[in-house]
Chains A and B, each alone.
Chain A
Amino acid sequence: MIVIINYGMGNINSIYHKLQKHTDNIIVTNDKVEIEKANKIILPGVGHFAKGMENIRSLGLIDILNNKVLRENTPIFGICLGMQLMTEGSEEGNAKGLGWIKGNTKLFKFDGINTDLPVPNVGWREINIIIKNEKYFKGIRSDDKFYFTHSYYINCEDKNDISSTSYYGFEFVASIKKNNIIGTQFHPEKSHIRGFDILKRFAFS
Chain B
Amino acid sequence: MVSPRIIPVLLLKGEGLVKGIKFKNHRYLGDPINAVKIFNDKEVDELIFLDINANKEGRTISPELVDKLSTECYMPFSIGGGIRNIEQIKMLLGLGAEKVIINTEAVNNPNIIKEASEIFGSQSVVISVDVKKSIFGIYNVFTYSGIRKEEIKLTEYLKKIEEYGAGEIMINSIDKDGTMTGYDIDLIKIVKSILKIPLIASGGAGEFKHFKEAFLEAKVSAVAAGSMFVFIGKKRGILINYPDKDELKNIF
Which A residues have a C-beta under 8 Å from some C-beta of B? Answer: 8, 10-14, 17-18, 21, 46-48, 51, 81, 116-118, 120, 122-124, 147, 149-151, 168, 187, 189-193, 195-196
Q: Would you call B147 an interface residue if the criterion is a C-beta within 8 Å of the partner chain's C-beta atoms?
A: no
Contacts of A120 in B (CB 8 A): 122-123, 167, 198
**Bound complex: CA A65 to CA B209 (Å):** 52
Residue in B closest to A13 when the chains form the complex, CB atoms: B96
Contacting pair B75 A117 (CB below 8 A): no
Contacts of A18 in B (CB 8 A): 71, 74
9-residue interface stretch from B104-112, B113-121, B127-135, B224-232: B113-121
Taking the nearest CB of chain A, how far is it from the CB of B251, in angstroms? Answer: 14
Taking the nearest CB of chain A, how far is it from the CB of B35, in angstroms? Answer: 16
- Which of A21, A48, A123 contacts B120, CB < 8 Å? A48
Contacting pair B94 A13 (CB below 8 A): yes
**Bound complex: CA A8 to CA B221 (Å):** 29
Q: Would you call B175 an interface residue if the criterion is a C-beta within 8 Å of the partner chain's C-beta atoms?
A: no
Which B residues have a C-beta under 8 Å from some C-beta of A? Answer: 2, 5, 40, 43, 45-46, 67, 70-71, 73-76, 90, 93-96, 98-99, 118-124, 167-168, 196-198, 221-222
Contacts of A122 in B (CB 8 A): 5, 123, 167-168, 198, 221
Contacts of B74 in A (CB 8 A): 18, 189-193, 195-196
Contacts of A193 in B (CB 8 A): 74
**Bound complex: CA A190 to CA B76 (Å):** 5
**Bound complex: CA A187 to CA B46 (Å):** 13
**Bound complex: CA A47 to CA B121 (Å):** 4
Residue in B closest to A17 when the chains form the complex, CB atoms: B71
**Bound complex: CA A18 to CA B71 (Å):** 6
**Bound complex: CA A17 to CA B74 (Å):** 11
**What are 6 A-B pairs at a CB distance below 8 A?**
A118-B221, A147-B46, A149-B76, A151-B121, A189-B74, A191-B75
Contacting pair A147 B76 (CB below 8 A): yes
Contacts of B222 in A (CB 8 A): 123
Contacts A46-B124, A149-B76 known; 8 new A-B pairs at CB < 8 A: A10-B93, A10-B94, A17-B70, A47-B119, A47-B120, A81-B121, A149-B99, A191-B75
**Bound complex: CA A8 to CA B173 (Å):** 36
Contacts of A47 in B (CB 8 A): 119-121, 124
